[in-house]
A = this chain, B = another copy of it.
Amino acid sequence: MADIKSGPNPLFLREEDLRQGIELLFYAYRDFTAEPDAMLAKIGLGRAHHRVVYFVGRYPGITVTELLGILQITKQSLSRVLSDLVDQEYIAQRPGTKDRRQRLLTLTDKGVDLERSLSDAQRARIASAYRAAGAAAVEGFRTVMLGIIDAEDRAKFPPPGKR
């Protein structure tokens, strides 16, 4: 048996720290998505639907182009899941007022309920981790995560004082 329990093979400390960072991201994301994925499967939706519902809830009135910029997928990929959500009345579309080419996306009441029930497991996980870790650790977490995220998107996370 490989030495999983006894720890990894010897490496330089620095290398080990970086590997640990890689793995923290892998395991955290794996466990973070598992619960909503299981719920989604029961109603015939997938993780991609969750992402769309999440960000439409986050930014009510968001346009398709803006959503594509966040998700970083093609419009054809988005179209598939967005159509499902509109057809099943989780999401409503209305034309933009200034630019009538745009479709402004909002959650319906049904969509709000779905988003909440899906993300609640994730909120609970974050809340529990934050509570256990304490404010200083949370601030460190935020700082490191921002450093991992491409600079273009860091502005989406205003510093604590500005919130």
Contact = CB atoms under 8 A, between A and B. Distances in A.
B145 A28 contact: yes
Contacts of A95: none
B138 A24 contact: no
Nearest to A98: B1
* Copy total for this chain: 2
26 contacts: A1-B102, A2-B66, A3-B61, A9-B59, A13-B163, A17-B138, A18-B126, A20-B157, A23-B156, A24-B149, A27-B150, A28-B148, A28-B149, A29-B29, A31-B153, A126-B148, A129-B148, A130-B147, A133-B144, A134-B143, A136-B140, A137-B141, A137-B143, A137-B144, A138-B144, A141-B141
Interface of A: 1-5, 7-9, 13, 15-32, 34, 51, 54, 58-63, 66, 72, 96, 98, 102, 104, 119, 122-123, 125-130, 132-134, 136-150, 153, 155-158, 163
